[in-house]
Amino acid sequence: MPVFLYLAVTNIIMITNLYTLLLLLLILPCTAQQYDFDYVQECHVTLNGEKEGGTLFRFFNSNDDSYSLRVSLFGENVYMTLYLDDGKYYHDTISKEDFFVYGISMKCPKSGLSSDFRDKDPDDFTYHKLPDTLINTTSYSHVRLFPSNIKKYNNGKLPAADYILDNSLNLNITVTDPYSMLILYRRQGIEVPLGIIKEYYTQNKEGKIIDSIISIQCVPTQKIIFLDTSCK
């Protein structure tokens, strides 16, 4: 298990974390919003045909798909972005040492409306539930989103997307960003498979993979984010 995940899981039992949480509850205004997380998924991400990439950690609540937390490490800093289902995001940077505690306050973080949220439209794709995929004798759900606009697909502006989903944790949600295409389809009444995304990739008409996300592991954790936007 990577050191990042080991610390994230084991440090929650330390009494100093409970002390920190009590201090946060005392000093934060009553307007602060609380977001609880009970799992963290480690993923390997590649972009632009593997020209870019790295490791991504996604914290999520197994009972609520309306928010998620993306975390990346750069040197001694932790970059974290909280995504909400209304398209808003909140971004903050803290040190590794400050991140490995139970409760974290995001005080007046950078915020905005995600361009992904504005640009996504379920009508741009057709939803296909494919036969399950067999990987090492284990069966996983397989979903493909194929572009409705063939012209955009042919010129490479709108690639097809495949999702391989794993629900060995018996989750009641689909673990992805709260405004992802899968969540948008579910809101339209489509029965989307539950679980974490084991593999995700986009590909052009020649079958070349453009972007991909591969799940490395998913483990229980405990973390609380307090979002305080009452800035002066």
Task: Report the alpha-carbon distance of residue 160 to residue 163 in Å, rounded.
Answer: 10
Whether residues 132 and 30 share a domain: the answer is no
- Answer positive or negative: Cα dihedral of 13, 15, 16, 17: positive
Together in a domain, 88 and 145: no
Q: What pLDDT sits at residue 49? A: 73
pLDDT of residue 30: 55
- Pair 79, 179 in one domain: no
**Residue ranges in the chain modelled with pLDDT below 70:** 1-31, 51, 117-119, 232
Express each pLDDT in 106-161 by its tens digit. Answer: 989 999 988 776 667 888 999 999 999 888 888 899 999 999 989 889 988 889 99
38 lies in the same domain as 69:
yes
The per-residue pLDDT for 220 is 97
Nearest-10 Cα torsion for 161, 40, 96, 47: -10
| Inter-residue contact 151 to 124 (CB < 8 Å) | no
**pLDDT for res 143:** 97
Query: What pLDDT is recorded for position 133?
Result: 87
- What pLDDT, on a 0 to 100 scale, did the predictor assign at position 64? 95
pLDDT at 31: 67
Domain range for 27 is: 3-44+51-114+218-228
Q: Could you give the CA distance from residue 147 to residue 207 in angstroms, rounded to a whole number?
A: 14
* Number of domains the chain is built from: 2
- Whether residue 21 is found in the same domain as residue 79: yes
How many CB atoms within 10 Å of residue 46?
A: 17
Give this prediction's pTM: 0.83
Same domain, yes or no: 209 and 223:
no
